[in-house]
Amino acid sequence: MKQEVVTRFAPSPTGFMHVGGVRTALFAWLYARKQGGTFILRIEDTDREREVAGSIEHIQESLKWLGLDWDQGPIKQSDRLPTYKTWAQRLIDKGYAYADPYTEEEVESFRKKAEEEKHPFLYRNHRPESPAAWDGTKPLRFKVPAIKRFEWNDLVRGTLSAGEEALDDFILIKSDGYPTYNFAHIVDDIEMGVTHVMRGEEFISSTPKFLSLYEALEAVPPQFATMPVILGPDGNKKLSKRDGAKDLLEYRAEGYLPEAMVNFLALLGWHPEGEQEIFSREELVQAFSIERVQKSGAKFDEQKLLWVNHEHIKKLSEEAFAKRLKDFIQQEVEPALVPLVKERAQTLGQAAQILKTEFDFLSGEPMYDKDLLLKGAKAEAADVQNYLTKAVELLSGVSDEGFTSEAVKEVVFPYATEVGRASVLWPMRIALSGKEKSPDPFTLAGLLGKKTTLERLNKALSVIK
RNA sequence: GGCCCUAUCGUCUAACGGUUAGGACGCCGGCUUUUCAAGCCGUUAAUCCGGGUUCGAUUCCCGGUAGGGUCACCA
């Protein structure tokens, strides 16, 4: 009988969605979807101090943006306190849990001493001989049943192991009545039937504790798949908020496409067979496999993210891109400009910027600068004047209705080629756009129409004089 | 300090004992109907070091080195 795959994403509500967490969520989601399994969203809100209001909405919005839908949840651990108490009681009954008799200060002094002696701190060295019954005012600690070496399989790393030092009597229930992560996540994974746990490297060293707890609870542990870390752009440090890591939704605000983000994140620490780089969400689901997840950490390279994003923009139809851009800038976009912006902008943010600063030639009255008009022209002012005059003359011969960019090109281009392209086309382009950077003069003329085109050319002529 | 993990171009990665070590991003250069963008073509660039095993190691083993993780009433 094949067991159905169940994965989960279990963030804590800190108000910040870092890309590392998102990538872990993505892999868990990809695997669940690929296997036709279940993906659970669970909120690990057992630390009341760190909880930030609105986090749960923030998490859900982030996942929705990326298109990572969940089948169950959000399940809040804070709603399940009685459950953890029940499971804790089982451990107490079996003699695998006891009340911690020490004060926080006392434990702290043990820790300090161990640190000074350069030994790892192990609470179990201070295990009380006959602890009082747990009344809920003191932390409840797990009594590790057997101090031994652990070895287990990781779907990404292969066989992993740890010595006895990794085992300790950790806290199950805090003195405020809330369970710790160490306890709650295991109870939940058991109750929710989680089969595959995707998680960060930082949990490798605590795995023996988890395994020990599974044994005490007589439950079968899930499969573990350790994800590689995502590192900051400089150095080898983990990408963190402190080093300027952005919240996921900041990328949305900058105009990245969710499918591009998913594509980029999937390729950070995973690679399918073959040399394809651009994938749709569905293609990723098809191609995904845990076996091809990378072991070593990967740097988050925004340059490549930009490229991936641009590739996805290029894949969009003009209509689709126009719709996204409109939604992004919250205003209508001149249809004629859409294809021009689409090939230039790597993000919707860039598109908005280009529209505002470079492609405003349709509306505004260009300001002319003689130096700029002549800058790229490989001819004297007097010659340029002659060329433009001739261009005006040629364009006057084109009918109003037939004044398309193709028609403009047809009459101007041969002439420009004859006398020197740059000498005609550069000043013409500047005359029409007023900008050093712009689309080509034919496109501009077609967009502006005959009347405006001629007006602008004449005005430029008067400036050159 | 203990325990643990990792190691191919600057970056993301391919090559699961035999390749001129491949691709992509970026960089640089060139081409294309002027600028910018796009497009096309091309150049540069890597197996951390030392031992084994083997006819043959990027690949397997051991040891270094480097980087990282962890040792919370945080997750």
State the Cα–Cα distance between residues A31 and A79, nearest whole angstrom: 28
The predicted pLDDT at position A284 comes to: 97
Distance A2 CA to B15 C1' (A): 33
Mean pLDDT within A174-186: 97
For A19, phi and psi rounded to 5 degrees? Answer: -65, -25
CB A326: neighbour CB atoms within 10 A?
14
HEC string for A221-257: CCEEEEECCEECCCCCCECCHHHCCCCHHHHHHCCCC
The predicted pLDDT at position A255 comes to: 96
The predicted pLDDT at position A288 comes to: 96
Residues near A425 by Cβ (< 8 Å), separated by ≥ 6? A412, A416, A440, A441
A111 touches strand B (CB under 7 A): yes
Residue A88 has pLDDT above 80, yes or no: yes
The predicted pLDDT at position A171 comes to: 96
Q: Which of A36, A37, A34, A52 is nearest to A11 (CA)?
A: A52
Q: Can you read off the two tokens belonging to residue A88?
A: 């804790």
The predicted pLDDT at position A184 comes to: 98
Nucleotide nearest to A12 (CA to C1'): B75
Mean pLDDT within A233-253: 83
Mean pLDDT within A158-171: 94
Distance A326 CA to B58 C1' (A): 50
pLDDT band with cut points at 50, 70 and 90 for residue A289: very high
Residue A1 has pLDDT above 60, yes or no: no
| A241 part of the active site | yes
Nucleotides of B under 7 A from a protein CB: 1-8, 10-15, 22-26, 33-39, 67-75
Mean pLDDT within A117-121: 86
Residue A302 has pLDDT above 70, yes or no: yes
pLDDT band with cut points at 50, 70 and 90 for residue A371: confident
Whole-structure pTM value: 0.93
A79 within 8 A of A44, measured Cβ to Cβ: no
Alpha-carbon torsion (A346, A347, A353, A356), positive or negative: positive
Which residues from 197-216 of A have any strand B atom under 7 Å from their CB?
A: 201-206
| pLDDT tens-digit map of A260-286 | 999 999 999 999 998 999 999 999 999
* pLDDT, mean over chain A: 92
| pLDDT tens-digit map of A4-19 | 999 999 999 999 999 9
Q: Which of the two residues, A37 and A245, has the higher pLDDT score? A: A37
Catalytic hit among A241, A370, A378, A437: A241
Mean pLDDT within A316-320: 93
A3 touches strand B (CB under 7 A): no
From residue A144, alpha-carbon distances to A96, A149, A151, A168, A214 in Å are 7, 12, 16, 7, 11
Helix (H, G, I), strand (E, B) or coil at A7: strand
The predicted pLDDT at position A132 comes to: 86
The predicted pLDDT at position A235 comes to: 63
Buried b (16+ CB within 10 A) or exposed e, A100-122: bbbeeeebeebeeebeeeeeebb
Nucleotide nearest to A156 (CA to C1'): B5
Q: Which of the two residues, A223 and A363, has the higher pLDDT score? A: A223
State the Cα–Cα distance between residues A432 and A365, nearest whole angstrom: 10
The predicted pLDDT at position A93 comes to: 95
